[in-house]
A and B are shown apart, each in its own frame.
Chain A
Amino acid sequence: MNDKPHLDEEALTELQDVMEDEFDVLIETYLKDSSDRISHLRSAIGSADPDAFARTAHSFKGSSINIGAPMLGELCLRAEEAGKDNRLDEASDVVDAIEVEFQRIEQTLKRFLA
């Protein structure tokens, strides 16, 4: 179903090159934001708020693509669409998948930290 790679090495290398000293700060910011977003997604399901769900998924999607995690971006897109289409019943499964993928990315990224 999802054939995107877990990590876009090229994008990540370019980020490292651009960010230089701030690369660590970026990764830490991303990781913190992302776990916050996963909590937001879950609470949006709890409060049956598909709109908030979709918006959070959208932002999560963007930052994941930018950081070089296309597979996670793809999962976020599916979440965003589910939110937009008012299909929150399917949303829990997607958030589970996002959480699994995120843990994987988190471990990989932490290896990049100094």
Chain B
Amino acid sequence: MTDSKPLRILIADDSDSDRLILKTLMKRLGHQVRATANGSEAVAIFPEYLPDVVLLDVMMPVMDGITAAREIKAMAGEELVPVIFLTSLTDAGALARCLDAGGDDFLTKPYNKIIIQAKLGAFNRMRQMHKTLSQQRDLIRERNRQLLEEQQLAKRVFDNIAHTGCLNADNIRHHVSPMSIFNGDILFACPRPAGGMHILIGDFTGHGLPAAIGALPIAEIFYGMTSMGFSGNDVLREVNDKLGRILPTGMFCCAAMIQADFHLNQLRIWNGGLPDVVLLRKGGPRELVPSRHLPLGVLDSARFDATMELFHTSAGDTLLMMTDGVLEAENEQAERYGEGRLKQALDTAPAGEPPIDTVLGAIRSFTGEQSGHDDLTLVSLDMVVASDFHESAERLPQSALKGPAQWHCVYEVRDDTLAQFSPLPLLLHICMEVPGLRRKSADIYTLLSELYTNALEHGVLGLSSDLKTSPDGFSYYYSERERRLEQVSGHYIRFTLTHSMTRKGGKLIITCEDSGQGFDHSSQITTGAADESGNANIKYSGRGLLLMQKLGHSLRYSEYGSRAEIVYDWELAIKQPGGWS
């Protein structure tokens, strides 16, 4: 029992007899007592005696109880030291002043042993509780400080992975709260190697660290695949698949994916669970692109639909995307901002004002909030003519010239692995580590893929292209391919990649060797469909070699066709006109 523990009690009373009564009473109750005759003495003793409870007479010479109470409370600081005033309870005004000065209670004369005991017990329990709460508060404060520190650290890591994109492009405007990642919001933008860009905006269910964790793999997939030239729906499929595997059921990511093409001036849009994406046509009319899909991370890959809607646009059109935080922003009356207000804000927007500014301004005046203390994530993309955007897209490879430049690797696939595994994504990934090569991902992939197909089908499996002279021949060829692949044994396909830097860019040498008997590569090469157009006997095969010849700068077969070597020279994109379109 806390009641039984002796307390240290400090008394100040100028009346000798009253002081004597109180002092004796406290001692009888088992407490330690220091008694003084005025407030000044009590204040002087306080710091060294550190009492648990202070009893003060109100009117005393030298220093009265009210002044003493103020000084004692100031010295006690955050610690709770109950101050009890001794009074004969006559003047309500005096009582109020006692409470103002920090008094916690009163003891009335004549003193009653039972009441004093009860009050001391109550205050002691309150004191203990206060101490416990203070300790817990300090602990929570410390934990919170640690958490914020960890979040800052996590944010720095996250920023390294996620915010290297092209959100600063001239035709993008965006608003994210600084710690949006811990609201579960994500916003990424990345230029595509062949021109144009991808934008991904999303909102994870949940808050805090769990919501932030899912964002990291999304960022890696989004930036990695986009830089390698994959299209928006490929990125979506991969992200959906990844989230489906790592997120617990019930956690997912509402998102919208945009693939912008400034050459063709078109947009592809996928919306899964976010508010309507708004396409503001130049001159006023608006189109809404509602959510037509389940959020990312819900459906398995077989049922996931990555179809993106195609929109033809013109320069001056603006696309506006936002997370739920926009529609859910609340004012003081707990009303939500909602679609109606959003529509009205856009309807009445002053001409020439960027739509994102219109919406942000409208929400701020709705919520009455000035600070950046929000959950809003918005992004707008202005459609521009390709040449305007080109400049900003060109910055990327220059900043990323660092990276593996001189390297060599050999990768060999053997036996039944040939039937189960494609080495192409891995090999492409290795090549894409060279920053300057990223823009060439489509070329490299085609080269690797055609080499591999030839080595596997003609070399290892011994299939002849001559089979492919009719529709049925085609079918036979591929059923035979499948049959032979199941039985493949004792074979290999070996890729050797060597990369080095040149004055203008770099040189990638790809050799592909296989364990087959070789094949008659010279007869395979079709010199080009043009030469034979009009001829009934156009060959349905052999275009792989033609493709490789045109893409690579040299193609050489040796060892009777079981060894192929391609030299691929690439140049830095400093002055090169954009793409091949």
Contacts and interface: CB of A to CB of B under 8 A. Distances in A.
Residue among A14, A18, A22, A25 having the largest count of chain B Cβ atoms under 10 Å: A18
Given A33-B15, A73-B88, A15 B21 contact: yes
Interface in B18-33: 18, 20-21, 24-25, 28
Interface in B63-95: 86, 88, 90
A79 B109 CA distance: 18
A29 B17 contact: yes
Given A14-B113, A62-B88, A19 B15 contact: no
A59 interface: yes
Contacts of A65: 88, 109-110
B98 to A, nearest CB: 14
B110 A33 contact: no
Contacts of B24: 18-19, 22, 26
B45 to A, nearest CB: 21
Contact of B110 (A22, A26, A68, A77): A68
Contacts of B419: none
A67 interface: yes
A35 interface: no
B59 interface: yes
A63 B110 contact: no
Nearest to B58: A58
B382 interface: no
Interface string B92-134: 0000000000000000011111000000000000000000000
Interface in B364-394: none
Contact of B17 (A8, A11, A58, A67): A67
Given A61-B88, A68-B110, A33 B17 contact: yes
A50 B57 CA distance: 21
Contacts of A11: 110
B168 to A, nearest CB: 76
A43 interface: no
Contacts of A33: 15-17
Residue among A15, A30, A59, A65 having the largest count of chain B Cβ atoms under 10 Å: A59
Interface string B325-336: 000000000000
B14 interface: yes
Contacts of B25: 18
Contacts of A55: 59, 61
A30 B110 CA distance: 14
Nearest to B22: A66
Given A22-B20, A58-B59, A63 B15 contact: yes
Contacts of B28: 18
B111 A66 contact: yes
B20 A8 contact: no
B16 A29 contact: yes
B17 A63 contact: yes
A72 B17 CA distance: 15
Contacts of A8: 110
Nearest to B29: A18
Contacts of B16: 29, 33
Contacts of A30: 17
B17 A77 contact: no
A66 B24 CA distance: 13
A24 to B, nearest CB: 11
Contacts of A14: 112-113
A11 B109 CA distance: 10
B21 A59 contact: no
A58 B57 CA distance: 11
Contacts of A73: 88
Given A25-B20, A26-B21, A77-B90, A59 B110 contact: no
A66 B90 contact: no
A59 B113 contact: no
A61 B16 CA distance: 13
Nearest to A80: B90
B14 A19 contact: no
Contacts of A18: 21, 24-25, 28, 113
A79 B17 CA distance: 20
B63 to A, nearest CB: 14
A94 B61 CA distance: 24
Interface in A53-83: 55, 58-59, 61-63, 65-68, 73, 77
Interface of B: 14-18, 20-21, 24-25, 28, 57, 59, 61, 86, 88, 90, 109-113
Given A18-B21, A65-B110, 7 more contacts: A18-B28, A26-B17, A29-B20, A62-B57, A62-B109, A73-B88, A77-B90
15 contacts: A14-B113, A18-B28, A22-B20, A33-B15, A33-B16, A33-B17, A59-B14, A59-B59, A62-B15, A62-B18, A62-B57, A67-B110, A68-B110, A73-B88, A77-B88
Closest 10 CB pairs of A and B: A30-B17, A65-B109, A63-B15, A11-B110, A66-B109, A63-B17, A29-B17, A66-B110, A29-B16, A59-B15
